[in-house]
Amino acid sequence: MTFSRKNRLILLSAVTLAVLVFGVQAVYRLFTTRRSAIDELIWLEQMQAEFALIASNVPPALAELNTDCLAFAADKDRSALARFQGQSRQLAEWIEHRRAVAPRMKIVVSHPFEFTADVGHRYDEIHDFYQQYLSAAGGLTNTVARSVDLEQRLKAYQPVEQSTLQLLTAASEAGADAHAISLFMHGSQQWFPRLRSVAAAVVLLATLSGLCLLLILEVYRAVIRPLRKELVESVSTIEQQQQLALRGEHAAAVAHEIKNPLTAISVRLHTLQRALLEGSAEHEDALVIRDEINRLNRIVGDFLQLARPAEPELVTVSAATALQEVRDLFAPQFTRQAINLKLDAVTDARFRADPHQIKQVLINLVKNAGESIGRNGTVTLRARKATETLKGRPTGVVVLEVQDDGRGITPKMQERLFEPFFSTKEDGTGLGLPIAWRIVDKHGGVLDFRTTENQGSIFRIVLPCCEEG
């Protein structure tokens, strides 16, 4: 079937007119959507700050309260009770204040993807859970005051633990909400200006000649398709964060179920140990039992850190200083193992990070390097500036390297290296590298490695570097 020139011109004109109308409508919708979206972003920014406050303030405050509460239950320590009462009032006042000043509105975002934020409801939930916590603590105080039976006092402590779990779960969900809002706002700042530019380009191209359709297809292939891909990736990231929040809830539940019997065992052991003669076989057995209880507590703590990592408190960190501190820490131990721990080509680059968390990652990598060597080898620490791809775009980065000339990593082990609870060590928990990976990811960086079997490995921490000045 063929078309005459007149028919082709009519068809092309109709298509061009349709594209023009569509482009004008698209621009109008984008501009009106952007105007309302800016207002939503302002409110979301305030909500993100409130969610982050909940996640960073409630868990450490509860940890201090529970320490004093348990000390009072176990030993009737009146000073611990006084501290608990003072700190509990401070936390109650903080919750009431934040509840009063937090935005009282619910935002449901449907473009470019669905998201709901309601920090007022979250504070109401925290308030209700905290009232239950204080009620449980009041019951414990009454029981301790009239009871001399240690087991009965510890049993009265269990409702406090259950209320603590509710509060920690709510705080974990608030942290996930803050991170999800951050991802949404980052994506919105990119999508709206770029989509507006695309729409303007469509309107301009719609006025051209018969090449309009070909140019529109090219714009779609080069601009619209990558934007849609970024949108899908961002939605997937938010879904992953929601899954991580759910895992954090499960981790908190499992950890507290384990800690309840551990707490009772530890308190009973403390009571028994005071009655044992120091240096006796029974006293030595009690020391071994206490070490194993502490080991179990460390495993539970590592699991919680993996499932619900703390938000990094970012400051400007010097790469040279960070590596020097780790070198000084391991130098005596490595000297005994005949391992040469050296700094090589260290550029004093600076980056934004939580110094304690980054030091934890470096300690884990250097420790693994020493264990891979055993004896008689070299571990080299480096820092340099480079340009690498982070989050899909070229970025100026600082690369911290830990290199060893140990036995390397087999291909089978490489596939599971960052898998939780996978370890080749008899006493290892398999949580060191997964935790390190999560910490670096929280900093917006990448933890990767290069290895050759029987020749050694290089682990790299890649982080965005600070702007000059």
Q: Spell out the per-residue pLDDT of the chain, length 469, in tens.
A: 555 555 655 665 666 666 656 655 655 565 555 555 566 667 778 888 888 888 888 888 888 888 888 778 777 888 888 888 899 999 999 999 988 888 887 777 665 556 677 888 888 988 999 999 899 888 888 888 787 777 787 788 788 888 888 888 888 888 877 777 777 776 665 544 544 554 455 555 555 554 555 555 555 566 566 666 666 665 665 666 566 556 656 666 666 667 667 777 777 777 777 778 888 888 888 887 887 777 777 666 666 655 666 788 899 999 999 999 999 999 999 999 999 999 987 787 899 999 999 999 999 999 999 998 989 999 999 999 999 988 778 889 999 999 999 989 888 888 888 777 667 666 666 777 888 888 899 899 999 999 998 889 999 999 998 865 4
Provide the pLDDT for residue 467.
Answer: 64
How many Å apart are CA 439 and CA 181, to the nearest integer? 19
Provide the pLDDT for residue 252.
Answer: 61
> For a pLDDT cut of 70, what percent of the chain falls above it?
68
Provide the pLDDT for residue 398.
Answer: 94
Mean pLDDT of the chain: 77
Q: What angle separates helix 212-219 from helix 150-206, to the nearest 10 degrees?
A: 160
Provide the pLDDT for residue 163.
Answer: 86
- Among 432, 374, 29, 453, which residue's Cα sits nearest to residue 199? 29
DSSP bridge partners of 386 = 397
Provide the pLDDT for residue 215.
Answer: 55
* Residue ranges of the chain assigned to CATH 3.30.565.10: 315-464
Provide the pLDDT for residue 315.
Answer: 93
How many Å apart are CA 315 and CA 207, to the nearest integer? 52
Provide the pLDDT for residue 13.
Answer: 60
Provide the pLDDT for residue 195.
Answer: 46
pTM: 0.46
Q: Does domain 315-464 have CATH number 3.40.50.300?
A: no
User: Residue 227 corresponds to which tokens in the numbers above?
Assistant: 């934007």
